[in-house]
């Protein structure tokens, strides 16, 4: 019996990533870092080549891919848009369905070592001093679930959440548990992602979480002009 092969892409932060997963196990993975571990600029030009490199490392051809999963955000507008567009294009080209999952979940499931059972607050930078957050639980059997939709909190609110519940562990880039969302995190979630069904290729967009910085600045400039 042929093992289903899944191509996963994640782009909620500047450290984009891809992974090839077979039978619930990561066969190959790649992060968009250079040789010195610095996030690569020009992510739009590097993501699709990274997919090709990852598939080559896994010994997999496009016709063998059975599913594509994309991190759905929230996160960086441009990075998410690039990953989402690439995932849609690859799904169309390979003739397979596209699935999506929370990038805040992928922060938890991609962490190395895998976090112990408990309740976590997964966080990602929302810019302007704010944070995207969602509570995530890991059961004793390793089952991972997101307890609430992603929301935006201020830095002060994030501190207050941690102070109110000392059992709640903060996980995210540069946090108490330092972890980034990564495409490899799709592996332990894969059966549930597939069971929840694919997205509509024509309509789906990532959850950007908030408007892009350029649009915010433009709207602020227009408001300022209108009041003069």
How far lies 77's CA from each of 4, 96, 180, 210, in Å? 31, 25, 16, 8
How far lies 115's CA from each of 1, 65, 140, 208, in Å? 32, 29, 11, 26
Examine residue 61 and state whether it is found in any structural domain, yes or no. yes
pLDDT score of 147: 94
pLDDT score of 175: 93
pLDDT score of 50: 92
| 0.75 exceeded by pTM | yes
d(CA 34, CA 16): 12
Examine residue 82 and state whether it is found in any structural domain, yes or no. yes
- Which among 182, 202, 13 is positioned nearest to 91, based on CA atoms? 202
- Which among 106, 107, 89 is positioned nearest to 98, based on CA atoms? 89
How far lies 73's CA from each of 12, 22, 102, 106, 150, in Å? 5, 23, 6, 10, 9
147 and 182 in contact (C-beta within 8 Å)?
no
pLDDT score of 3: 83
Total domain count, the chain: 1
CA-based Rg of the chain, rounded to a whole angstrom? Answer: 18
For position 102, which CATH number holds? 3.30.420.40
Domain carrying residue 36: 5-112+180-219
Examine residue 64 and state whether it is found in any structural domain, yes or no. yes
pLDDT score of 203: 95
Examine residue 142 and state whether it is found in any structural domain, yes or no. no
Examine residue 152 and state whether it is found in any structural domain, yes or no. no
Per-residue pLDDT of the chain (228 residues; tens, 9 = 90+): 478 999 999 999 988 899 999 988 999 999 986 444 444 444 456 888 999 999 999 999 999 999 999 999 999 998 899 999 999 999 999 999 999 999 999 999 999 999 999 999 999 999 889 999 999 999 999 999 999 999 999 999 999 998 998 889 999 999 999 999 999 999 999 999 999 999 999 999 999 987 655 444 544 444 555 555
Examine residue 101 and state whether it is found in any structural domain, yes or no. yes
pLDDT score of 216: 46
78 and 18 in contact (C-beta within 8 Å)?
no
pLDDT score of 88: 97
Examine residue 107 and state whether it is found in any structural domain, yes or no. yes
Examine residue 105 and state whether it is found in any structural domain, yes or no. yes
Please, what's the largest Cα pairwise distance for the chain?
Answer: 70
Phi, psi of 177 (to 5 degrees): -105, 110
């Amino acid at each position: 019996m042929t093992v289903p092969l899944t191509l996963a892409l994640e782009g909620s932060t500047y450290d984009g990533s891809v992974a090839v997963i077979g039978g619930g196990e990561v066969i190959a993975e790649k992060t968009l870092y250079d040789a010195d571990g610095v996030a690569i600029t020009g992510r739009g030009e590097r993501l699709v080549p990274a997919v090709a490199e990852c598939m080559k490392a896994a010994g997999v051809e496009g016709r063998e891919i059975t599913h594509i999963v994309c991190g759905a955000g929230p996160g960086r507008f441009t990075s998410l848009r690039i990953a989402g567009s690439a995932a849609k294009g690859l799904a169309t080209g390979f003739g397979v369905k596209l699935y999506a999952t929370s990038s805040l979940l992928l922060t938890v499931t991609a962490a190395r070592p895998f976090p112990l059972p408990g309740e976590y607050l997964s966080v990602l930078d929302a810019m302007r001093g704010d944070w995207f957050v969602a509570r995530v639980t890991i059961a004793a059997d390793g089952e991972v679930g997101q307890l609430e939709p992603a929301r935006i909190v201020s830095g002060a609110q994030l501190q207050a959440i941690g102070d109110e519940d000392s059992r709640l562990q903060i996980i995210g880039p540069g946090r108490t548990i330092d972890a980034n969302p990564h495409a490899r995190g799709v592996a332990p979630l894969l059966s549930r992602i597939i069971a929840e069904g694919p997205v509509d290729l024509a309509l789906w967009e990532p959850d950007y979480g908030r408007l892009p910085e350029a649009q915010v600045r433009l709207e602020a400039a227009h408001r300022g002009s209108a009041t003069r």
